[in-house]
Each structure stands twice: as C-alpha cells, then as structure tokens.
Structure 1
Amino acid sequence: MNDKLHKYVSASAIDSHVYKVFPNDLNAHQTAFGGMIMANCDRLCLVAGERHSGRVCVTAAVDSFAFRAPAKGNDTLVFKVSVNRTWHSSMEIGVRVIAENSYTREERHIVSAYFTFVALDESGKPIPVPEIIPETDEQKRRYQEADMRREARLKMRKDLKRSRSRGDNGGAG
C-alpha cells in the first residue's frame, strides 16, 4: 500500500489533548465559555487534518457541534480527535470532549463535533488527500456515518440554492 495514497486513522489521531479550565475561561454562568471549547476543537482538528494530508488545511464546514453538558471551573478537558473519512480534497474530522474532575477522575462527555477540512496546494487550491483506512469497528462506524453527514450537507446546500433561486431569501446567508 502506498503511504501517499492511504493512511490509517491512528496515523493522525489525537488521543488525549488536555486543557485545564481556569477562571478566565468561564462565562457569566460560571461554566466554560463555549467559544473557547469550539476554538480548541477547530485547532486540534486542523492538526489532525494537516497530519493526515501533509498539507495546509482550512475549515470548510462544521456539520454539528453538540454541547451535551457544561464544563466547570477547575475541570480538565480531554479532547479526542480523528479523521473519520476522506473524499477528494476534503476530510471529516470528529472530536469528542470529556470534562474530567482531576481529583475524583469522574468524567462527563460534554461535546461531540464534526468538522470538514480541505487540504490546499501552494496556490491555495484544493488538492487530493490520502484515503483514510479505518482499523477498528468504531472507526468503521464513524467512516460510514461520515458519508451520511456529507450527503445531508450536500442535499441541504442544493435545497438552499434552489430555494434562493426562487427568491426565498429570508434570514441570514
């Protein structure tokens, strides 16, 4: 197998990046500011995408960003990131965030998110990326689900374009 054309999920995954939540990370409700968590997810997904592609990458879409529970001051956030699937020049990269109490080791799943990144060549144009090879049953499940999310995203884009061409321009966008 040519390493330039195929890569295993484990070759670019981030298994446990940690971030300690300090008082400056809290919002008025005294929970971790969601934008800080989102920014960390985006940066870590970028690292996984660049590791996988060997190229500069940019965020193209965020299909889902679900906050399941709040993180609190003094929690330790544990980020787990992996490339779920690749297409021609794009990659779906999933991230799961766990909030851990460092004293008791109690864990709470607080975020699941799916980002799409595109690899770029030297002139800023999309460039092909290696195919991803899922190794475990969980990676194979995420691989299949990524295609479902992509199909839904493309259908939504097509439906919105058709709606706008009929003059339905309500709202932002």
Structure 2
Amino acid sequence: MTEQAAQSLTPKRASDSRTVLTDIVFPSDTNHLQTLFGGVVMEYMDKVAAISAMRHSRTSVVTVSTDSIDFVAPIRVGEVIIVESFVSWTHRTSIEVYVKADTENLKTGERETAVTAFFVFVSLGEDGKPAAVPGVIPETDEEVTLYETGEERYLQRRKRMDDRKNKGH
C-alpha cells in the first residue's frame, strides 16, 4: 500500500465531514398545503449527504440506501430549511451519513427538526469498483450515540437486502 493510500484510510473525525446547506422555501417548492415537497427535501438531503461521504472518503460515491426518512414537522413557505449531515459510521467500503433537516422561522428565530434520515453510500475507486474507506472518530454525544448504533443499522440493512435477493426482488 502506498503512503498516500495508507493515509487516506486513517480514521477521520465525524466533524470533518459535516456539511450544511441553508435555503429559503418559495411557493414554487411547495405542495397545495404550502409546505415543502418531500421530494425536494430528499434531494437536498441526498446532495448534502453525498458531500459528507466524499469529504470523508475523498473518492466518488454512489447512494445505495436511504433509511428511516422520518418527516416529523412541516417546512412552510417563507421559512428556512437547514440541512446538516455528517458521517456517522463506516464499514469496509460503505459510508453511513446521518442527515437532519431543520426549519427556521425567520421572524421568531424558532427552529424545529423537520426530517431525519440515514443515507448510505459506497466509495468508488478510480476503476469504478468499491474502495476501502477510513473509519470514523465520533466526538460529540450525538456522534458517539450514532456511531455506537451504526453496526446494528448496517446488519439490519444487510438482512433486508439479503431477504430481497432471496425473494427474487
């Protein structure tokens, strides 16, 4: 292994992958209830999560799974959406990214979590094949909690994918 390859696999702090996107919600982004379309939120989340995964791996990545996209509060016209992500756990070639979308009322300053999810990516080498990724060093309480439960989520995903393969889907 070259020195550069070995260096790229040195574990990295979760905070090094932290990515934030902030945008204002306009009427063209909303449904008939004047709340942000779920698909728009998911697009923001996927982009931010991909940036986190690439910051962590320093490779190209592809989305392979989204887990537990929970819409817990509406995001309304005129509010701000703040989408934040960081790498929460890694396996050999896969990168789990925790993503949270908050809403902010600009008049009151009140913030509320609107959506949470886990996105999983596979790192790709120059040859387009899965490539090894560095481990994660969690530091905050939130990062530690997500890291400690990462393997369990990974095993649940594997089981779900294996079950799907065995059923021919």
TM-score normalized by structure 2? 0.91
Unaligned runs of 5+ residues in structure 1 are 165-172
Name which of 5, 13, 24 aligns with 2:10: 5
In structure 2, give the amino acid aligned to 1:44.
Answer: V
3-state DSSP of counterpart to 1:27: coil
Q: CA deviation at 1:161?
A: 2.9
Q: CA deviation at 1:137?
A: 2.2
**Is residue 2:43 matched to residue 1:39?**
yes
Aligned pairs, number: 164
**Is residue 2:132 matched to residue 1:128?**
yes
Identical-residue share of aligned pairs (%): 35
- Asked if 1 retains the 8 angstrom alpha-carbon contact of 2:8 and 2:57, the reply is no
Q: Distance in 1 between matches of 2:143 and 2:164?
A: 31
Root-mean-square deviation (CA, aligned residues, Å) is 1.6
In structure 1, give the amino acid aligned to 2:11.
Answer: H
Structure 2 equivalent of residue 60 of structure 1:
64
Name which of 75, 100, 104 aligns with 2:108: 104
Q: CA deviation at 1:4?
A: 3.7
- Asked if 1 retains the 8 angstrom alpha-carbon contact of 2:102 and 2:111, the reply is yes
Q: Distance in 2 between matches of 1:153 and 1:4?
A: 24
Instruction: Single out whichever of 1-10 and 154-163 deviates more from structure 2.
Output: 1-10
Q: CA deviation at 1:147?
A: 1.5
**Is residue 2:76 matched to residue 1:72?**
yes
Q: Distance in 2 between matches of 1:112 and 1:26?
A: 19
Q: CA deviation at 1:8?
A: 0.6
In structure 2, give the amino acid aligned to 1:11.
Answer: D
Q: Distance in 1 between matches of 2:40 and 2:167?
A: 34
TM-score normalized by structure 1? 0.89
Q: CA deviation at 1:136?
A: 2.0
In structure 2, give the amino acid aligned to 1:88.
Answer: R
